[in-house]
Structure 1
């Protein structure tokens, strides 16, 4: 993949992310804040973006979304291979709780 293709993929991902974020915010604001890991202020701005503004923001060369799993514990819980289905469910729930707690700290 060359540089132009990568930039095109980033722009497409940005636009998809903004459209999803705006839809989530307009549908269920509290769930959106949790699922997106964004502040109330960011949610308010995203909710008011026009399609033209979303296109302009998405056209940058920097990815707008980021991974929220920034430590080994959460990654380990999410990628817990070889565990039973019930253990996998518990691990994913634990990871969700940890990420939700980090969202509350950031907000």
Structure 2
């Protein structure tokens, strides 16, 4: 993949993320804050963006979203690395609890 293709993929991901975020915020604001890991202020800003503004923001060369699972513990729980499949639902629940706590701390 060359640099132009990568930039096009980033722009497409940005636009998809902005459209998803705006849709989530409009349908269930509290769930959107939790699922997206954003603040009230960011949600308000995203909710008011026009389609033209979303296109302009999405056109940048920096990815707007990021992985919130930034440590080995959460990744290990989500991937069940080295654990039998029977514990999968418990591991995912534990990972969700950890990420929810981090969202609450960030807000």
Bin of the TM-score, shorter chain as denominator length: over 0.9
1:15 alignment counterpart? 15
- SS of the equivalent of 2:53 reads helix
How does 1:1-107 map onto structure 2 within 5 Å?
A: 1-81=1-81, 82-85=83-86, 87-107=87-107
Distance in 1 (alpha carbons) for counterparts of 2:11 and 2:95? 29
Distance in 2 (alpha carbons) for counterparts of 1:60 and 1:27? 27
- Using the TM superposition, give the Cα deviation of residue 84 of structure 1 relative to its aligned residue in structure 2, in angstroms: 2.5
TM-score (norm 1): 0.96
Distance in 2 (alpha carbons) for counterparts of 1:2 and 1:83? 39
- Using the TM superposition, give the Cα deviation of residue 83 of structure 1 relative to its aligned residue in structure 2, in angstroms: 1.6
Q: Which portions of structure 1, spanning 4 or more consecutive aligned residues, are displaced by more than 6 angstroms?
A: none
TM-score (norm 2): 0.96
**Per-residue CA distance 1:20-42 (angstroms, 9 max, x = gap):** 00000000000000000000100
Structure 1 runs not aligned, ≥5 long: none
Structure 2 runs not aligned, ≥5 long: none
**How many corresponding residue pairs?**
106
Pairwise CA RMSD:
0.8
Distance in 2 (alpha carbons) for counterparts of 1:11 and 1:25? 21
- Using the TM superposition, give the Cα deviation of residue 12 of structure 1 relative to its aligned residue in structure 2, in angstroms: 0.1
